Amino acid sequence: MNLIEHTRAKQIKQWSIDLGFDQCGISKAAYLEEESARLEDWLKQGRHGAMTYMENYFDLRLDPRKLMPGTQSVVTLTYNYFPRNEIQTDGYKISKYAYGEDYHVVIKDKLKILMRQVNHAWGDVQMRSFVDSAPILEKAWAVKSGVGWIGKNGNILSKKRGSFFFLAEILMDVKLETDHEVKDHCGSCTKCIDACPTQAIYAPMQVDGSKCISYFTIELKEQIPSDWKGKWEDWAFGCDICQDVCPWNRFSKPTHEIRFAPKEHWQQNSKEQWLSIEEEVFKKMVKGTPLERSKWKGFLNNLRHLEGDL
């Protein structure tokens, strides 16, 4: 054991916990050889649908040393977003991750503090941080860093925390003591596969992005195909079905992050109010939240699709 690598690994894990992260795992930067074939096959089958950006930067996705030359360690962090109270309403449903403030902003703020601590304690360390914002295979690094395993629904699962957490990464040009991968604990359970109304989970750990409700309600900018009507179960932005039915999520604990607290308007507005909402009112209500991404017109298209008007 290298004492410096061991000490630094312990330090960054403690600092991350102090900042509100739930887990911090470390892996050695390397080329993701196994993921290369899987990603290429997934793209060739068209499982990414209209998400053509997934075809870009293929080499960068597979090797963090191309994202940041000199990278030696990949630090993976998780940040809990499971709500204290789920939104109960007669209106439309949105994914739990979108209840409050935009997670990109919240977690980036934490990462900046963490990186400042690293540089203050260790000297001039070269780093780059990511929160769902660059061509990096987050789930692959989460597995290699030991924070969880890939469940049959394609999400990272933890025995102690379930799957309602965000992933973030920091690339570093220093060596740190690495962690070990954890065992797959899904067993023979197929609840997520059975519950998916669009059959997007076509095989264990294989998700067809072009059939996912989250894809239709967030990513797809074209008109929604009519043959998908009646299969969304009132989901207007994202979908939590495969996570809600997962037995491991009975261990999910409410987040302590006040910036993820649900916005009041989700509980106040009925379906009729959402369908008649004006553009400026919508913009004001969703400002600073993940729903900004859908824009007023896209969000209304989702609602009209749910109501059978498209």
Convert the pLDDT of each residue in 154-208 to its tens digit: 999 999 999 999 999 999 999 999 999 999 999 999 999 999 999 999 999 999 9
Determine what percent of the chain is predicted with pLDDT higher than 90: 72
Q: Residue 282: in which H helix or E strand, if any?
A: helix 279-286
pLDDT digits (tens, 9 = 90+) for 78-112: 999 999 887 766 678 999 999 999 999 999 999 99
Report whether pLDDT(310) > 60. Answer: no
DSSP character at residue 98: G
pTM for the whole structure: 0.93
The verdict on whether 208 is a catalytic residue reads: no
In the beta sheet, which residues pair with residue 28? 73
Q: End-to-end alpha-carbon separation of the chain, Å?
A: 62
DSSP state letter for 52: G
What average pLDDT is seen over the chain? 91
pLDDT for the residue 309: 64
Tokens of 245: 């039915």
Residue 186 near residue 204 (C-beta atoms within 8 A): yes
Q: 245, 310 in Cβ contact below 8 A?
A: no
Least trusted range by pLDDT, from 50-54, 153-157, 167-171, 211-215: 50-54
Number of H helices, E strands in the chain: 13, 10
- Three-state secondary structure string covering 207-274: ECHHHCHHHHHHHCCCCCCHHHCCCCCCEEECCCHHHHCCHHHHHCCCCCCHHHCCCCHHHHCCHHHH
Kindly report which listed range (90-104, 200-214, 216-230, 240-254) carries the lowest average pLDDT score: 216-230
Q: Which of 41, 59, 109, 132 is catalytic?
A: 132
